[in-house]
Structure 1
C-alpha cells in the first residue's frame, strides 16, 4: 500500500517536472515581441551646439570711473543721442572744492614768482630762488590740469551716436565703479553672441548656417549665419566667442537668449535610421521572423538619427529600439511597425 502511494507521488512529481520543463522550453523559444522601423531618406546634419544672447552689432557701455552720487540723469531711454551728449552727472562738490583750492594756491604762487622775478632784475636775490618759484607755478598748473580732467569723469557722455538701448540707476543712487548705467547703440542689425566649447571650435567656420531655438518663439524657424570667431578663447571657461549674423526681419530682441545649432556638415538625401536602433555599428534586421544582427558603416550621428553609409538596404526593416541582449537568430514577433 505504501509503495503504491509513493509511486503515485513519484508519478505526480515527474509530471509536474515535465510540465515545468515544457513551460520553460516554450518560454525560451517563444518569439520576442519587438517593433520595427523602416529607414528613411532625408538630410543628415552634424551640429555644434552652443547657447547665445542677442546683441546689437554696434553698441557701447557707459560706466562710471568714479564712485559718486547721481545728481542728474537724462530721461532718454529709447531716444537717439549724439556723440558727447550728457547722459548723467555725478556729485562733483568735493572735486570742485579741490580745484578751487589749487587755483587759489596757483594765484599766490604766480604772484610770488612775479615778485621774485622783479627782485632778481635788481640783483637782490639769486636765479635759483626764481627757478624754485617758477617750478612751484608749473607744478600747480599741472595739478589743476589733472583735476580738471578728473572733473570731466563726473559727466557721463554718449561715446557714439545711437539709441539709448537701456539706462539704469536713479538720481540719488551711488554710481559704483564699473557699473553700467547706459547702453548706447543701434537696434539693427542684430547678432547672436554664442560661446562654443574649445573641442568643437575647429569645426566651426565663417559662413556656416545655424538654426536657433527660442522659448519666446517656440514654433518659429529662426536662422543665422556664422559671422566671426574670436581668435583667442577663454582658458577658464574653455570656450570661444562666435558671433552669428541675424536677418533684418528677425523677431528676436536685444537681450533674448537662444539655443544655437551650427550646421558644420550636411549630407543630403541620406539614409537615416533612429539612433535607438544602433548599438555601436550594429543593427538588427528582421528576416523570416528572426532577428539578424548586421554591421553597418555610419556617417553623421545625431541624438535622434544616424546616417547609414553602407550595410543596410532601404527596403529592410530594422528593430528599434535595439535590445542590448538580443542574440543573432532570435525569433521575433513584430508587434508594431513605426513609420519613421
Structure 2
C-alpha cells in the first residue's frame, strides 16, 4: 500500500509542475492604441461671467423705504435722471428743526452785534453768537446734502440693464437697485490662478463654453489683466473682449479656455497611457517599457516630442505591475 501512495504523490507533483509554467508565462491581455497626429494646445482654464464694458451699480447709502421708482428697465436714461426716491420724511423734519434754530441764531447774532456797537456787551459774547451761528449753518448744509442721498439718480447715460426692488420695500445698504450701462460691447471677466497668470498675455485667443449655446463656437480675446492680484483667493482678474455678434448675454456664466500656445501636427497619446515619462510599447508578443519626452499635456492627451514613432502601438492604460518584456495578448482599445 505504501509504494502506491508514493506513486500517486509523484504523479500529483508532476502535474502541478507541468501547470506552473503555463500560469507563469501565459500572455497578459492588454488594450493597444496607435498614436495620432493632431494639434496640441496648451490651455489655461478659468470660470468667467459676461459683463458690459461700461456699467455702474446704483445702491442706496442709507437704509430707507422706497416711495417712488421708475419703470424703466431696458430703457435709456440720461445722466442725473431720477431712478428712485426713498422716504425722507424724518430727514426733512430734522432739517426743518435745524433751519428754525438757524433763524433764531441769525437774529440773536444780529442783536448782539448791534449791542456790541453801543458797547453794551463784550466782544466775547458776539464771538460766541457768531460761533453758534456757524455751527448751525454747517449742520443745515450737511442735512441738505444728506437729503440728496434719498434720491437715486443715473450715474451716467446708458440703458437700465436691470431693476430690482419694489415700492414699499426697505432698501438696505449695499443693495443694488439698478444696473445702468451700455449693452455693447461685452466682455468676460474671469479670475485666473496666480500660478497660471505669468503665461497669460493680452491678445491671446480664448475659447468659451456656455451651457446656453452648447453647439456654438464662442471665442474671445484677452483684453486686459489686472496689475494687482487678490492675496486671499490667489487669483488675478482677466478681462476678455467679445465680438459684437456674440450670442452671449449679460450675466451668463462661461468656461474660459485660454490658448497659450499650439503645436501643429503633434504626435498625441492618451494621458492614461503614460506613467511618469514611461509608456509600454508592443513589440511582437511582448511589452517593452520605453521612456519618452513629452510636451503639451491636456486632460485627455499628451504631446510626445521624442521616444515614440507613428507606427508604434502602445498599451493603454499603462499596465501597472507589467514587467518589461512580458508576454501580452493585444486587442484594440476603444476609439477616443
2:227 pairs, out of 221, 228, 231, with 231
For residue 216 of structure 1, give the secondary structure of its aligned residue in structure 2: helix
Post-superposition offset of 1:337: 5.0
Give the aligned CA root-mean-square deviation in angstroms.
Answer: 1.5
1:168 pairs, out of 164, 167, 174, with 164
1:159-308 maps to which residues of 2 (within 5 A)?
159-308=155-304
Post-superposition offset of 1:61: 0.7
1:74 pairs, out of 49, 70, 77, with 70
For residue 21 of structure 1, give the secondary structure of its aligned residue in structure 2: helix
Post-superposition offset of 1:339: 5.1
CA deviation string 1:148-182 (max 9, x = no partner):
11000000111111111111111111111111111
2:106 pairs, out of 107, 110, 115, with 110
Q: TM-score, normalised by structure 2?
A: 0.95
CA distance in 2, matches of 1:276, 1:261: 22
Q: Is the 8 A contact 1:36 1:337 kept in 2?
A: yes
- For the pair 1:97 / 2:86, whether they are aligned, the reply is no
2:133 pairs, out of 137, 144, 147, with 137
Post-superposition offset of 1:298: 0.6
CA spacing shift, 1:251–1:16, aligned 2, 3 Å: farther
Post-superposition offset of 1:290: 1.3
CA spacing shift, 1:331–1:151, aligned 2, 3 Å: same
1:31 pairs, out of 12, 27, 34, with 27
CA distance in 1, matches of 2:331, 2:117: 118
For residue 98 of structure 1, give the secondary structure of its aligned residue in structure 2: helix
CA spacing shift, 1:80–1:21, aligned 2, 3 Å: farther
CA distance in 1, matches of 2:65, 2:17: 90
CA deviation string 1:104-162 (max 9, x = no partner):
11111111122222222323222332222222222211111100110000001111111
CA distance in 2, matches of 1:50, 1:231: 18
Q: Is the 8 A contact 2:268 2:302 kept in 1?
A: yes
For residue 180 of structure 2, give the secondary structure of its aligned residue in structure 1: strand
Post-superposition offset of 1:66: 0.6
CA distance in 1, matches of 2:262, 2:79: 46
1:316 pairs, out of 308, 312, 318, with 312
CA deviation string 1:37-63 (max 9, x = no partner):
111111111111111111111111111
Post-superposition offset of 1:17: 3.3
| Structure 1 unaligned regions, length at least 5 | none
Tell me the equivalent position of 2:329: 333
1:145-156 maps to which residues of 2 (within 5 A)?
145-156=141-152
Range with bigger deviation, 116-125 or 145-154: 116-125
For residue 12 of structure 2, give the secondary structure of its aligned residue in structure 1: helix
Post-superposition offset of 1:19: 2.9
| Structure 2 unaligned regions, length at least 5 | none
For residue 219 of structure 2, give the secondary structure of its aligned residue in structure 1: strand
Tell me the equivalent position of 2:44: 48
CA distance in 1, matches of 2:221, 2:35: 31
